[in-house]
Chains A and B, each alone.
Chain A
Amino acid sequence: MTSPPAEVRGASSPRRDWQHGRVPETLLILEDDDGIRTALRMAMEDEGYRVVDMARAEDALRVVGEQTVDLMLVDLMLGGMDGYTFIRRARPASDAPIIVVSARNDTVDIVAALEAGADDYVTKPFVVKEVSARLRALLRRGRGGAAPDPGVADRVVLDTAEPALVLDMSAGTVRRGDDSIHLTVTEYRLLCELASPTGRVRSRQSLLDAVWDKGFFGDERIVDVHIRRLRTKVERDPGDPQLVVTVRGLGYRLDPR
């Protein structure tokens, strides 16, 4: 049986409407279990993605180097190179959101994956609805896709000391002087959230809602790890953060200088 044309599928399911009229995003699935990979591929193709699926991390790295990948779904437990190593190696080349799939939900595993550069995680056994919701949340928050709230400046000077650190929301860039600072999509989104407006305390839960589209059960450690990663890129001394500050018991605040 051949798959029906994509237009027919798109019309038959209302949940794919947000994709309508757009070039399909490329989703890389890295999973060594054949059953899961094949099933996920079908499910994600039905969700409207262009899917590239790989069983080995080495092959997936090659794909990341050769073509544009918009999203990645990565299993942590792989034969050969493991998921953590893959994420670390893929990161400089690609700032695409990465969701890791873990069979265990132990603290160490998940935090280690987030530290390596993952944006979010799901645990097996997952349901397709959950995975696609996670993907959609990270994707629609993509760079330049978020319209700044009215009344909030597009251009925020984060650090006036030369060379000045500037967040330009209309251009989707963060620059220190003439140098562009490389942020992942999620780090950039997190910075934009903290900057709209600056100086306001944002709780972990509200950041989870805004950036990851997570509800009551969101894991607040995701926010903490991303804040840490963001600091290493924008702070002058990440060990003594002055720009992205922790407000104990409440959350985080952006203090431009």
Chain B
Amino acid sequence: MRLPVRAVGLRTTIMLSFAVGALLLSAVMGIGTYLTARDYLVDQRERAAVREAFADASYVRDGLLTSGIEVSDVLGRVAPAADSTVLVKRFDRWFSSSLELGEEDVPAQVQRAVDEGEVAVVWTRAQDAPAVAVGVPLPAVDAQFFEVVATQELARTLATLRIVLLVFAAFTAAAGALLGRWAARRVVAPLDHVAGAAAQIAGGALDTRLPTTEDPDLATIVGSFNSMVDAVHERIERDARFAADVSHELRSPLTALVTSVDVLDGRRDELSERSRRALDLIKSDLHRFQRVLEDLLELGRLESGAARLDGSILDARDLVRFALEESGRDPALLRTSAGPGGTLVAVDKTQLHRALVNLFENAERHAGGVTGVTVAPDGDGVVITVDDAGPGVPIEDRERIFERFVRGGSRGSLPGAGLGLSLVAETVRAHGGAIWCGSAPGASGARFTLRLPSPDVVPDRAASPSEVRA
């Protein structure tokens, strides 16, 4: 069974690694220091105790050699260190220099060794504190000498050392964590730059590059990133060039064709009835071909962002009226309630004209024709609606119909390449506007709503560059 593990970020990982590393290191160092120091101190203490015991033992022996002196008198004259207690066993009687300690405080191990005539040193506990018990046989006076040295000082020293080392280890671990945090930030910072640059590039700023760096570790990332962007940029430019080349390649033969057909058309009187019908067929299909090609090229240029927007400020109502008239529709289809002004837009009139005519033609082809067009001011923009007489567009298709080569209704039932609406959408987007499809109020048909920003909302479009220079 796996526990749900929350993904740990790179930054946290680096920080934790530093902290754990520092802790381990300081723990090993601390424990080593402690053990070495303890062994040394214990050894020193033991030697000191033994030295002291021997000194005291010789004093006690010398005292006892003087005949007639009681053991207790000798013990009274011995002046052991404050934490030491001297005990003497003679003729199976125990004498002690302190009231607290007695026979039972001398370990049996030491007593046995002394019984056998040997000196013994043993660590023990006396009165709940560590102590060193030293036993020395005094055969000259038929006595046994013992000294118990309490080592509370040593215990306190070791305790202090332990605390100091623990605090030090904790401090080192915290410092490691801080260092890790800083290092993590250093490591991740370039990645943040990369992410920022990538976002800018995705947003269309294709000339964004990471600044070159002296850092040899980062130089690789920066270099790879920049060369990747270069490659992408070049690819996009190549596509744009390809579109331009295709445009030239296709337009030239098409121009020759259209011109030749115009010549034929100018001389249609000389043609037979049958030839004239064939000519009309060519003319209408050639016209369609020309329209599709122009739409395709325009769409490609809009999508690659290469299309220029030739801004001129005009009344959206004039634009719509003109588009209706020019495409052979009734200008009376335009209903507008707005007074003069308020419906001004900054647009490339040729492109928007093409978009409007495309919208009308779409209504004609797929939805029984345009039933009404309105133009109205709307906040800081202008809204144009186009209603049709069709069955409407199902809600699930209302976004999809603006994609390329998508047609409403049954596939192939009506002419048209399905480019029209996507061209309209791209054109409107290039103008900073929006387009959406809904249903016509009070009718079954669809309503296409097109919103364009007012001139003052579009910066620097009001004055064409040439006007500034003029």
Is B312 in contact with A220, judged by CB distance below 8 angstroms? yes
Is A216 in contact with B255, judged by CB distance below 8 angstroms? no
Is A46 in contact with B252, judged by CB distance below 8 angstroms? no
In the complex, A222 Cα to B256 Cα: how many Å?
26
Task: Please name all residues of chain A whose beta carbon is closer than 8 Å to the beta carbon of B156 when the two chains form the complex.
Answer: none
Interface residues of A in 206-257 (CB under 8 A from B): 216-217, 219-221, 224-225, 227-228, 246, 248, 252
Interface presence of B322 (CB below 8 A) = yes
In the complex, A39 Cα to B266 Cα: how many Å?
12
Is A13 in contact with B252, judged by CB distance below 8 angstroms? no
Task: Please name all residues of chain A whose beta carbon is closer than 8 Å to the beta carbon of B258 when the two chains form the complex.
Answer: 125-128
Segment touching A, from B125-133, B171-179, B272-280, B461-469: B461-469
Q: Given contacts A39-B263, A43-B259, is CB(A107)–CB(B310) below 8 Å?
A: yes
Interface presence of A67 (CB below 8 A) = no
Interface presence of B184 (CB below 8 A) = no
Interface presence of A93 (CB below 8 A) = no
| Chain A residue total in the interface (Cβ 8 A) | 36
Task: Please name all residues of chain A whose beta carbon is closer than 8 Å to the beta carbon of B267 when the two chains form the complex.
Answer: 46
Of the candidates B262, B353, B470, the one whose C-beta lies within 8 Å of that of A129 is B262
Chain B residue nearest in CB terms to A43: B263
In the complex, A227 Cα to B248 Cα: how many Å?
31
Is A42 in contact with B467, judged by CB distance below 8 angstroms? no
Interface residues of B in 157-190 (CB under 8 A from A): none
In the complex, A160 Cα to B464 Cα: how many Å?
34
Interface presence of A124 (CB below 8 A) = yes
In the complex, A24 Cα to B379 Cα: how many Å?
58
Q: Is the interface of B mostly helix, strand, loop or mixed?
A: helix
Is B248 in contact with A36, judged by CB distance below 8 angstroms? no
In the complex, A219 Cα to B312 Cα: how many Å?
10
In the complex, A219 Cα to B464 Cα: how many Å?
11
- Beta-carbon contacts of B226-265 to A below 8 Å, as 1s and 0s? 0000000000000000001001100111111111101100
Interface presence of B308 (CB below 8 A) = yes
Of the candidates A35, A36, A107, A228, the one whose C-beta lies within 8 Å of that of B470 is A228
Interface residues of A in 100-135 (CB under 8 A from B): 103-104, 106-107, 111, 124-129
Is A216 in contact with B349, judged by CB distance below 8 angstroms? yes
Interface presence of A55 (CB below 8 A) = no
In the complex, A44 Cα to B420 Cα: how many Å?
33
- Beta-carbon contacts of A1-34 to B below 8 Å, as 1s and 0s? 0001000000011000000000000000000010
Closest CB of chain B to A109's CB: distance in Å?
11
In the complex, A39 Cα to B260 Cα: how many Å?
5
- Beta-carbon contacts of A70-94 to B below 8 Å, as 1s and 0s? 0000000100000000000000000
Task: Please name all residues of chain A whose beta carbon is closer than 8 Å to the beta carbon of B294 when the two chains form the complex.
Answer: 125
Interface presence of A201 (CB below 8 A) = no
Closest CB of chain A to B353's CB: distance in Å?
7
Closest CB of chain B to A237's CB: distance in Å?
15
Is B269 in contact with A36, judged by CB distance below 8 angstroms? no
Task: Please name all residues of chain A whose beta carbon is closer than 8 Å to the beta carbon of B284 when the two chains form the complex.
Answer: none
Is B255 in contact with A36, judged by CB distance below 8 angstroms? yes
Interface presence of A181 (CB below 8 A) = no
Chain A residue nearest in CB terms to B326: A216
Is B259 in contact with A246, judged by CB distance below 8 angstroms? no
| Chain B residue total in the interface (Cβ 8 A) | 34
Interface presence of B290 (CB below 8 A) = yes
Is B256 in contact with A39, judged by CB distance below 8 angstroms? yes
Interface presence of B350 (CB below 8 A) = yes
Closest CB of chain A to B260's CB: distance in Å?
4
Chain B residue nearest in CB terms to A227: B470
Is A246 in contact with B262, judged by CB distance below 8 angstroms? no
Of the candidates A39, A106, A221, A246, the one whose C-beta lies within 8 Å of that of B464 is A221
Interface presence of A64 (CB below 8 A) = no
- Beta-carbon contacts of B287-316 to A below 8 Å, as 1s and 0s? 000100110000000000000101010000
Task: Please name all residues of chain B whose beta carbon is closer than 8 Å to the beta carbon of A157 when the two chains form the complex.
Answer: none
In the complex, A13 Cα to B266 Cα: how many Å?
8
Chain B residue nearest in CB terms to A77: B248
Closest CB of chain B to A194's CB: distance in Å?
14
Is B263 in contact with A46, judged by CB distance below 8 angstroms? yes
Task: Please name all residues of chain B whose beta carbon is closer than 8 Å to the beta carbon of A246 when the two chains form the complex.
Answer: 467, 470
Is B244 in contact with A36, judged by CB distance below 8 angstroms? no
Task: Please name all residues of chain B whose beta carbon is closer than 8 Å to the beta carbon of A252 when the two chains form the complex.
Answer: 470
Closest CB of chain A to B455's CB: distance in Å?
12
Q: Given contacts A13-B266, A219-B310, is CB(A124)–CB(B466) below 8 Å?
A: no
Task: Please name all residues of chain A whose beta carbon is closer than 8 Å to the beta carbon of B254 when the two chains form the complex.
Answer: 124-125
Is B247 in contact with A103, judged by CB distance below 8 angstroms? yes
Of the candidates A33, A42, A126, A129, the one whose C-beta lies within 8 Å of that of B260 is A42
Interface presence of A61 (CB below 8 A) = no
Is A224 in contact with B349, judged by CB distance below 8 angstroms? no
In the complex, A38 Cα to B353 Cα: how many Å?
32
Is A43 in contact with B248, judged by CB distance below 8 angstroms? no
Interface presence of A137 (CB below 8 A) = no
Is B260 in contact with A217, judged by CB distance below 8 angstroms? no
Is A36 in contact with B252, judged by CB distance below 8 angstroms? yes
Is A126 in contact with B466, judged by CB distance below 8 angstroms? no
Can you name 7 A-B pairs with beta carbons within 8 Å?
A103-B252, A125-B258, A125-B293, A127-B258, A128-B258, A224-B469, A246-B470
Beyond A35-B257, A43-B262, A217-B353, 10 additional contacts (C-beta under 8 Å) are A35-B260, A77-B248, A103-B252, A104-B244, A125-B254, A125-B258, A128-B259, A224-B467, A248-B467, A252-B470
Chain B residues within CB distance 8 Å of chain A: 244, 247-248, 251-260, 262-263, 266-267, 269-270, 290, 293-294, 308, 310, 312, 322, 349-350, 353, 464, 466-467, 469-470
9 tightest A-B contacts by CB? A35-B256, A39-B259, A128-B262, A224-B466, A125-B255, A124-B251, A39-B260, A36-B256, A125-B254
